[in-house]
Amino acid sequence: MNIKSPLIAAMMALTLLGTTGCAVQRGQETVGSYVDDSAITLAVKSRFVESKEVDAAAISVETLNGTVMLSGFAKNAAEKAAASQLTWQVKGVKSVKNEIAIRP
């Protein structure tokens, strides 16, 4: 049994339950945009889980109107760059703000 499949399923369930880190507030965005942003966040997190270059547990992903913000910690600059590159590969991403800190 592939251990990543249950992990991806659990991440999808959590995202669908509204734990994406973004909340719709008055005047912020439409429900449709919120759903699109949730799908982008889920897709980015899934790519991180599938990647051997990125520690998905150490990086947070938040999306608002197609802008994805990455935060958390990376082991090195290569991991930080890989996270950004994987994010850009997701359909619907308009921009990426990579705020990942590199651990000393």
Tell me the per-residue pLDDT of 27-77, one tens digit each, with 9 for 90 and over: 556 776 677 899 999 999 999 999 999 999 999 999 999 999 999 999 999
Separation between Cα atoms, residue 67 and residue 34, nearest integer Å = 12
Q: Work out the pLDDT band at 17, boundaries 50, 70, 90.
A: very low
Residue 104: predicted pLDDT: 85
pLDDT over threshold 90, residue 16: no
Distance of alpha carbon 61 from alpha carbon 22, whole angstroms: 10
pLDDT-wise least confident of 12-16, 40-44, 51-55, 78-82: 12-16
d(CA 32, CA 34): 5
Minimal CA–CA distance to 58: which of 43, 72, 39, 79? 72
Q: Taking a C-beta distance cutoff of 8 angstroms, is the pair 99, 70 a contact?
A: yes
Share of the chain above pLDDT 90, in %: 64
pLDDT > 70: what percent of the chain? 69
